[in-house]
Structures are given as C-alpha cells and as structure tokens.
Amino acid sequence: MPVASFPAADKIKSLPGQPHVSFQQFSGFITVDEKQQRALFYYFVEAETDPASKPLVLWLTGGPGCSSVGAGAFVEHGPFKTTGDNLVKNEYSWNKEANMLYLESPAGVGFSYSANQSFYNHVNDEMTGHYVPQLAQLIVKSKVKFNLKGIAIGNPLLEFSTDFNSADEYYWSHGLIADDVYSLLVNVCNSSQIMRAAIRDLDAPACTAVYNRLVKELGGKSIDPYNVIGDVCLSSGQSQMESLYQPLRARFQDLSSPRSRSDALSQQEVQEEEDVCAQQKTDKYLNRKDVQQALHARLVGVARWNLCGNITQLYDAREREKPTITVVGSLVKSGIRALVYSGDQDSVIPFTGTRTLVNVLAKVLGLKTTVPYRPWFEGKQVGGWTQVYGNLQLSFVTIRGASHIAPASQPVRSLTLFKAFLAGKPLPNA
C-alpha cells in the first residue's frame, strides 16, 4: 500500500519514548459518515524492508469491543512494546513481513467514535466478534476490484454451542474443575446454555447454580481463562481485556476477566517471556496526552481511552449466536484461502471445538486432507499441530503454549505461522 495514499498530516514523526526506526508510520481518523459524525481510528505501520513488494494486512481485534491498536499493535505484534513510560522494539513484529493496518472498529472502540449514540442500535451485525469473515464476504459480494488473497482468524467464535461447550471438557481435562462440576456441565447446564440464559435474560436457576460452582473452581481472578498456564498481572485488580462471558456479569457472579476473544530471530529455541502486565502498561501509555497528540488521536464522548470499551452493552449480544463457519465456507468456495488458528492454552474458545468445526466444514466443502494432522516446527521445537485441506484452501493450526492472544504469549511461533500464511506455504515439518 503506497504511503502516498495516506494524508501527509497523518504521518507520525515519532511516538514518545520510541526507538529510532527506518519505516514510516501513519495514524488518524477516517470519517465514514459525516452526517452521523462517525469516524474510525487507524494506525498504519510500513513494512520494515521493501514495503512496496510486501502485502497489506488489515488487523481487526474482536473482544467484542476491543482495540486493534491497543491489543493488536501494542500488546501482540506491532513494532513496539510498552515498558511503562517508553517503548522498546518488538523483535517479532509482523511488519517484518507485511504492511500492517490496525483499525479500531466498530465506532465506540478505542479512539473510534460516533457522536450520534442512536447509531449503536442499528449495527447489531457488526458486534459479533466475527468481523473478518463478514468483512471478507462483503468484499467478495460487492465485486469491487480488490485483490483479497486470504483471511486468518485466531481463536474465533464460529458456532455458538460448539465453541462454548468445548470449554467444559477443556476445563475438566486441564484440571481446572473437578469431576462433579464437569458432570453438572454435561448433565444439568452446559456453558452455551449458561451464556444463552444470560444473553436472553432467562430465569434459569439451575444454570445460575452451575455457573456459581464453575466460577468458584476456576479460581476467580486468580486464573486467566484466556491463558490457563499463564500468570496474571498482580498490579491490577482487574485487567482490561473483556471476557466473552461479559453478558453474565450483570446476571450472575463475575467470572475471571482475562488479560485479554520469523526470521533469524525465530530460530531461537527459547521463547521470549510474556509481560503479563502489558495491557495495563498499554492502557497507561495510550492515555497520555503527548501520546494521543503524536498519534493525531482525540477522545470523543469518553473521558479516557480503554483497551476494551463498554459499548457492547449497546449492541445486541444475541448476534453472537449467529454462526459464521458457513461464512468461512462461502469464502473458501469463492477462492479465498482461510487459516483458522488457535492458541492451545485458551479455555474460552478452545482449539478442540474449532478443530471439529473446521474438519466438518472441510467435509461439507468436499475438500480432501492434503496435510494429515501433524506437528509443525519452529527451529527444533514443536510449534504446534496442523491439518490442511485442499490446496491450502483451508487450514487449521494450533500454536503450542499460546494464549487466546497468541502473538503476545508465543511471538516467535506466531511469526512463523504468519510468514507461512502470507507465502501460501505449509508450516515447517521438522
């Protein structure tokens, strides 16, 4: 994407505390509806080398309602990591391989805004956490001249019951709950029924009782359901990343808030230790006035920037019940490559449910397995497991030891996966 496409006024001279870099950065607002005073905020990072020949990747963070700039760029795979007052270079940034465009969507997320609050009542379909498949489908249907090569979705909510119910066995198999609570989830009220009761404000005392038992055994805020083997940030009583269980909070007890829905360096066999307080540091950094000024950002209708906003309360949470696995199928049929990947330590949208859905989709599409289920490698270590259908038309990948936000917890392995996806090649086999 030529940098000439961006307004000169959007060019970032330097972010506060930023180390010197050779690539260009742009950020600012894109007005999408002047009448409704609605604008979306973007952050564009040019590829480190030879940007004119590198692809453009649009990153949309789900949540729903979480910031692509805060979560995607500063916590996961952008060029910098926050250390508090300063920034350090992220050695595993995805702009090593592509021009990265982070867009905060929908309006109300991050710095994006709509001055007309009634707008939120008319965009229910936008707030499902299904942004990428739905946007790609819209591009295909519009027949606009757009060279869309593929989509990649991580730990995605594809089918309500399958995805949420897979968490029940995941909790039990990973030792997070006892046999009797697992039995209650199987025989009395499962996780999708608990979620549905909360979303629809149903009177479900049996589900309430099971949910309360579940929360108690999961350890409350002492365990991160988005990364069951990871530590939590002890400097914050509650982390910023909103849980997919958010609708339950008003009705039931509060479930643990999660901390968040390669090159030569990639050959290192020791993974970089994750900063478990990265989201809190990012929140502090992006709320600084000098940082907002450098980003050409401003707050509209809110007192402060939030990693995950409260706008989900203004959307219809029932939209989560609409399956998007069929949307992924329609994209594959139209010639768009689809990669579905999962951090295998995420208990909220576990890889087991995702793997089942992808396998069923491949059968429905009549795609044969071309790469049987096998481990893939980063250096000499297993990076995860993968299965490929057709001519890389549909792929399923797990990232070993990764959380829901995989690049934050396993940056090297995630970058290796990203490189393979862009190149249209299978992952390394030994």
Please give the pLDDT value at position 315: 66
Please give the pLDDT value at position 3: 67
HSE toward the beta carbon, residue 317, CA cutoff 13 A? 19
HSE toward the beta carbon, residue 16, CA cutoff 13 A? 17
Question: In angstroms, rounded to a whole number, what is the distance separating the alpha carbons of residues 413 and 152?
Answer: 15
Question: In angstroms, rounded to a whole number, what is the distance separating the alpha carbons of residues 5 and 328?
Answer: 30
Mean pLDDT, the chain cut into blocks of 10 residues (430 residues total) = 77 96 95 85 96 95 87 95 91 97 89 70 39 89 88 94 96 96 97 92 92 90 88 64 44 39 34 77 95 95 85 69 93 95 95 97 97 96 97 96 95 97 93
Question: In angstroms, rounded to a whole number, what is the distance separating the alpha carbons of residues 166 and 353?
Answer: 5
| Structural domains of the chain, with CATH | 3-159+274-423 (3.40.50.1820), 160-249 (no CATH)
Please give the pLDDT value at position 176: 95
Please give the pLDDT value at position 129: 38
HSE toward the beta carbon, residue 100, CA cutoff 13 A? 26
Please give the pLDDT value at position 250: 47
Please give the pLDDT value at position 117: 58
Q: In a 3-state reduction of DSSP, which class is residue 194?
A: helix
Q: Which two tokens stand for residue 134?
A: 């739905």
CA 182 vs CA 166, 216, 221, 301, 337: distances in Å: 12, 13, 20, 44, 37
Place of tokens 């019940």: 321
3-state helix, strand and coil shares in percent for the chain, rounded to the nearest 5: 40, 15, 45
CA 138 vs CA 132, 143, 148, 156, 283: distances in Å: 10, 9, 12, 19, 32
